[in-house]
Amino acid sequence: MPYPDRFYPVVDTIAWVKRLTQLGVGTVQLRAKDLDDAAATTLFREALTLTNGTKTKLVVNDYWRVAIDLKAQHLHLGQEDLAEADVAAIRKAGITLGLSTHDEEELETALRAKPDYVALGPIFFTTLKSMRFAPQGIPKISVWKKRIGTLPLVAIGGIKFEQAAEIFAAGADSIAVVSDVTQHADPDARVHQWLGASAKAA
């Protein structure tokens, strides 16, 4: 399977990791902010234990030292975290690296780190986190995909299942989803929709 999978949910609790793993999701990012190293180690150790031996690849968000210590396989960093991270140490540990980008300058910074994928966002308006960047819109996906070539491009930010076909057609290799799963009235059914569409497109 490609990495990251075409459907790429981002969640903030162990309960969600467990639920998505049981549903057979291939790539899940666990994003929990403002933890000290001890709390982050406890959280991600539990998450990695949950996903170990399953088809789910767990992506550690931000805590790169913890990812190395726990021998995680996948890591995602924002630009601020990238600036403070030891990319050489991450690479030496054999961990894949995905990076967030929001404008041309951030894309250039990300590409210098030779990531395994680049995330572009927000595609649409999102209320989940305060963003200093305006929505990028679907056409930007095509522009950036032409620039980065074979490097996987992940679209993120306010995306719903109904927009997936258009976003994939624009050039996205993967769609990161938050609220369309975690705030949906029937999350399990929504996940099955995403997985079904991804399987057809694969």
pLDDT (tens digit per residue) in 128-151: 555 567 899 999 999 999 999 999
The C-alpha atoms of residue 202 and residue 77 are separated, in whole angstroms, by 26
Q: How far apart are CA 165 and CA 46, in angstroms?
A: 34
* ∠ CA 116-122-123, rounded to 5°: 95
CA distance 80 to 2: 27
Contacts of 122 (CB under 8 A, 6+ apart): 102, 131, 133, 135, 136, 156, 157, 158
Q: Which residue segments constitute the domains of the chain, with CATH numbers given? A: 7-191 (3.20.20.70)
Mean pLDDT of 44-56: 98
Question: Which 3 state secondary structure label does DSSP give 50?
Answer: helix
Structure tokens at 102: 């929001």
Predicted confidence band of residue 165 (pLDDT cuts 50, 70, 90): very high
Structure tokens at 182: 């975690």
Give the model confidence (pLDDT) of 81-127 as tens digits: 999 999 999 999 999 999 999 999 999 999 999 999 999 999 998 76
Write out the DSSP string of 90-154: HHHTT-EEEEEE-SHHHHHHHHHT--SEEEE--SS--SSS--SS----HHHHHHHHHHHTTS-EE
* 153-156/74-77 β-pairing: unpaired
**Cis ω on the peptide bond leading into residue 122 (within 30° of 0)?**
yes
